[in-house]
Amino acid sequence: MKKIGIIGAMELEVDALKQEMTVTAITSCASMDFYQGTLHDTSVVIVKSGIGKVNAALCAQILIDKFEVTHIINTGVAGSLNADLDIGDILISTDAVHHDMDVTIFGYQLGEVPQMGLREFPADPHMAKIALESCLKVNPDIHVRTGRVASGDQFISSKESKQFIIDHFGADCAEMEGASIAHAAHLNQIPFVIIRAISDKADDSAEMDYPTFEREAAKHSARLVAYMIDKL
């Protein structure tokens, strides 16, 4: 039976979804609260992972092992790396990369995970297609596109850091969790997609833009998730 794991790093990224779902149980594990129940008649487990790649990977593995989810959706906000993505727009992942993985001294590509032969973790094409189609229906006035998510344990807020990720990874947005969730899902052969609403421009203005727009951006992403889950 289909069971969707939904991960957001912060409370504001999952709060609207939790309010909309019918909760049947709350289980605490690794200092995270996993809300089990249904959302639009679909079995879901919704959880706030906490910020950063380790928290995100741990959360994804618990969803897979303990709650036996069949799909994972990572919802939240990100900084834009693409001139075509403005604040409030939505990006649906084609794949995800670790922009802070660097063992090039041993002959690996920048971003490549050693001994895996992988740099990019591809999203499930069907989930990405459903997410894109759903966004066009539920958020018709919001610009949406597909693209690459770059993740690292840092908030990108300078033109230099932004340009580095663009030049080396060709990524469309930057955040702090998606690639780790993608990594865990890939190792467990669980289909996933990352949905990111743009909260800032990932440059010197990010410090000012992010607090202003994060909540509204998160709502856009959550609205899309709520609409798409019964179509998977």
**To which residue do tokens 């895996």 refer?**
116
In whole angstroms, what is the distance from residue 200 CA to residue 204 CA?
A: 10
User: What was the pLDDT predicted at 81?
Assistant: 97
Which of 13, 124, 172, 209 does the annotation list as catalytic?
A: 13
**To which residue do tokens 């894109």 refer?**
132
Number of domains in the chain: 1
13 is catalytic: yes
In whole angstroms, what is the distance from residue 82 CA to residue 34 CA?
A: 34
CA distances from 88 to 107, 141, 143, 197, 201 (A): 39, 10, 8, 6, 11
Please say whether the beta carbons of 52 and 155 come within 8 A.
Answer: no
pLDDT greater than 60 at residue 208 = no
Summarize pLDDT for 107-141 with one digit per residue, the tens.
Answer: 999 999 999 999 999 999 999 999 999 999 998 99
Summarize pLDDT for 32-55 with one digit per residue, the tens.
Answer: 999 999 999 999 999 999 999 999
What is the span of the domain harbouring residue 11? 3-231
Summarize pLDDT for 139-172 with one digit per residue, the tens.
Answer: 899 999 999 999 999 999 899 999 999 999 999 9
**CATH code for the domain in which residue 124 is found:** 3.40.50.1580
Tokens, residue 135: 């966004």
Which of 89, 95, 200, 209 does the annotation list as catalytic?
A: 200
